[in-house]
Amino acid sequence: MIPVIRRILRAGIVSEPRPEPAEAVELDRLQGEIRRILGRALAIRQVDAGSCNGCELEIHALNNPYVNLEGYGIRFVASPRHADMLLITGPVTKNMEHALKTAWECMPDPKLVVAAGDCACSGGIFGESYASCGAVERVIPVDARIPGCPPTPRQLLAGILAAIGR
Amino acid sequence: MRPKTAARVMKFFDEPVEFEKQPGIGAPVWRGRAGGGAALQAFAAAVRAAGGRLAALWGSDERPTAGCFRLHAVFGIEAGHAWLALDLPPDLFCPDLSGIFPAANRMQRAARDLVGIDFEGADRRPWLRHGGWPADWHPLRHDIGEPAGFANQVTDYDFVRVGGEGAHEVPVGPIHAGTIEPGHFRFSVVGERVLRLEQRFGYAHKGIERLFAGRAPAEGARLAGRVCGDSTCAYAWAYADAVEAACGASPPPRALGLRALMLERERVANHLGDLGARGNDASLAFGLAQFSRLREDWLRLNARLFGHRLLMDCIVPGGAALDLDASALSLIVEQCEAVGREVRALRRIYDEHAGLQDRFLTTGVLDMALARELSLSGLAARASGLILDGRAHRQGYTPPPPWATLGVRPASDERGDVAARAAVRFAEVAESLRLLRELAVGLPAGDVRAGLAPAAAGAGLGVVEGWRGEVIVGVALDAEGRLARVHPHDPSWQAWPALERAVLNDIIPDFPLINKSFNLSYSGADL
């Protein structure tokens, strides 16, 4: 136990301060907005609709101590029934079309949907084909888009917050 | 060592098939043509008897260049890889290899879905085709045309049923309870005990192989780097190797050093992520916090030096897309020292943590005989005692440059459990940090990119030891030097069936831990 505590103390708190005053004010406003609309927190259900896994790696990074997504009152949940937002990656493959629609139908309102990454936004490099429906909006309505291949954790964070602020 | 320029004819295992060494400086590959289905089966059986592996298998419509369909099978043998092509008769009948190599099962079913090859007496359930296109429409045939607005029908899958009193099924997926790729697991259980696990995949199938066709070789690199996002360097390098072999090009030594540098950075990044996640899976959140902090430091230096956190698009046919200066290289050396120190301290904590070890030890065991039977490669094979590493010397095998001079020491562990796979990751992080320091200090001077003149109807095979295992890319060019067929092969093809077996002595609550201890790719094998 002692070595663990020692490591924790040595690493310290690395969560990053908000970079610029203007952005910080905006983040505060958005955080207030989250509380107003959704109560205490925002619950996200992530769905990989056929990505290469690159976007998932960066979404995982949202939970690292630097970005510390939970510090904003945002967390990932296991079921779409518990989710305020679907965060979707990848072009929607034909083989995932049905599952994605089902997940969306299971969600309670307001059913926020964010397309994360170039593939989810536009179909990206994979586009539309015999196996791919392309962009998420071809399958379910999308509220916000976060481009990038893959988007960085900062871009993802900004995109998620912006989607709530709409 | 560069192979002699004159083609050398080789035979293996006293089989009649003649092989020629593939030109170029990539991993050693011998190309051969099987005289018929029986010759292919006999060769496969000889490979199996000698302890070799089925490394990859795919079908190809080569009517425009060769006048027939072909089956391609790549075998892992002592000396490297034997790449065997078989001309198929007009009825596309082909012998079933799954009786010799069980790993062939899913690859054959994919070849049937995509090309329409009929494997005699084999498992006829579709694999990548769920219901999005008709059974008689084969996307990789050149004359098939564009898909004609097929209805996307949800189909049932014929899972093997387990009967008996109290036996029931637990379906999981395709959407899983975390930030993970899609796939379906069907457990047959009695109480908590898992009697059978059957996977159904293909959910991430987005038609990658068809997208390659008709592109210029240089253009295909971006797509190859997106087959599997966590292994973008391995795929880009294997693809570049294959294109270079097809075009007769050689990347300069500095480019090879840079590629190795990127591949090892990719390996460390993934291992850091996995080691943290394994801590979390066993309720040691401290491990996740610490390792994800280290991983973030690592990716930020990637972004700073290479312009991309995951190193996408940095390896291109002909060499590397960018160069590093002396200050960048010294930053890499410094970071290796800092990360090495922290990982050593964390390893001591993991090793001594009773709760963690209790979850890790004897969980998800895969023994060496089974790993060999299933043609496993890479990390999972090494954690079951099979010392296979394309970067390392072994008897009869010399790794390609730049590995040959680095003296790579492959990590291994004989226990085959979750603990072994964690131990191999720790050992590989340490070895990769050593390699990174050597590569950074000893990077040869010179250009980072060589010219590439596409060759009509050329073909090549690239093999790279990615962090997960052996990544293989086969490339064939058409008469105009464009890509006719590209097949990227992920080590997960072989390792997923191993997971089905590794859970059998455990209970469902251990499955997430066992599954993630392999951390296999869905996208890489769904294509």
pLDDT in tens, A59-110: 999 999 998 888 888 899 999 999 999 999 999 999 999 999 999 999 998 8
Where are the CATH 3.30.460.80 domain residues in chain B?
Answer: 9-119
Is B182's CB within 8 Å of A96's CB? yes
Given the candidates 3.30.460.80, 2.60.40.10, 3.40.50.10470, 3.30.530.20, the CATH classification of the domain at B9-119 is: 3.30.460.80
Is A149's CB within 8 Å of B312's CB? yes
Cα distance between residue B150 and residue A130, in whole Å: 8
User: What pLDDT shows up at residue B387?
Assistant: 92
DSSP per position, B410-476 = ----SS-SHHHHHHHHHHHHHHHHHHHHHHHHTPPPS-SB------TT-EEEEEEE-SSSEEEEEEE
Q: What does the block give as tokens for B127?
A: 């694999």
Residue with tokens 């790449």: B83
Q: What is the ipTM of this complex?
A: 0.92
Cα distance between residue B266 and residue B471, in whole Å: 14
Radius of gyration, CA atoms only, chain A: 17
Cα distance between residue B147 and residue B454, in whole Å: 30
What's at B428, amino acid-wise? Answer: E
User: Distance, in angstroms, between A23 CA and closest chain B CA?
Assistant: 21
User: What pLDDT shows up at residue B65?
Assistant: 87
Cα distance between residue B6 and residue A159, in whole Å: 58
Distance of CA B514 to the CA centre of its chain: 19
> What is the average per-residue pLDDT within B281-290?
92
Give the pLDDT band of residue B5 (cuts 50, 70, 90). Answer: very low
Q: Are A122 and A135 in contact (CB under 8 A)?
A: yes
Say if residue B451's pLDDT is above 70.
yes
Average pLDDT across chain A, whole number: 88
User: Distance, in angstroms, between B8 CA and closest chain A CA?
Assistant: 39
User: B467: closest CA among B282, B333, B272, B298?
Assistant: B272
Average pLDDT across chain B, whole number: 93
User: What pLDDT shows up at residue B289?
Assistant: 94
> What residue segments make up the domains of chain A, in order of their start?
2-165
Where are the CATH 1.10.645.10 domain residues in chain B?
Answer: 213-502
- For A2-165, CATH gives 3.40.50.12280
Classify B423 in phi/psi space as left (phi over 0), alpha (psi -120 to 50) or beta.
Answer: alpha
On chain A, the residues whose CB falls within 8 A of the CB of B207 are 126, 129-132
pLDDT in tens, B88-114: 999 999 999 999 999 999 999 999 999
- For B213-502, CATH gives 1.10.645.10
Q: Are A2 and B286 in contact (CB under 8 A)?
A: no
Residue with tokens 């989710």: A83
> What is the average per-residue pLDDT within B294-304?
96
User: What pLDDT shows up at residue B2?
Assistant: 40
User: What pLDDT shows up at residue B4?
Assistant: 42
User: Distance, in angstroms, between B176 CA and closest chain A CA?
Assistant: 8
Which of A95, A96, A119, A125 to mutate to test binding with chain B, by most B CBs within 10 Å of its CB? A95
Share of chain B above pLDDT 90, in %: 86
Give me the residue from A59, A64, A99 closest to B293, CB to CB. A64
User: Distance, in angstroms, between A157 CA and closest chain B CA?
Assistant: 15
User: What pLDDT shows up at residue B505?
Assistant: 84
Is B207's CB within 8 Å of A125's CB? no
Interface check for A128 against chain B (CB to CB < 8 A): the answer is no
Number of other residues whose CB lies within 10 A of the CB of residue B11: 12
User: Distance, in angstroms, between B181 CA and closest chain A CA?
Assistant: 5
Which of B206, B231, B312, B526 to mutate to test binding with chain A, by most A CBs within 10 Å of its CB? B206
pLDDT in tens, B127-167: 999 999 999 999 999 998 888 789 898 888 999 999 888 89
Interface check for A125 against chain B (CB to CB < 8 A): the answer is yes
Helices (H) and strands (E) in chain A, counts: 6, 7
Tell me which of B59 and B9 has the higher pLDDT.
B59
Say if residue B427's pLDDT is above 50.
yes
Beta bridge partners of B196: B188
User: What pLDDT shows up at residue B8?
Assistant: 74
Q: Are B269 and B231 in contact (CB under 8 A)?
A: no
On chain A, the residues whose CB falls within 8 A of the CB of B150 are 130
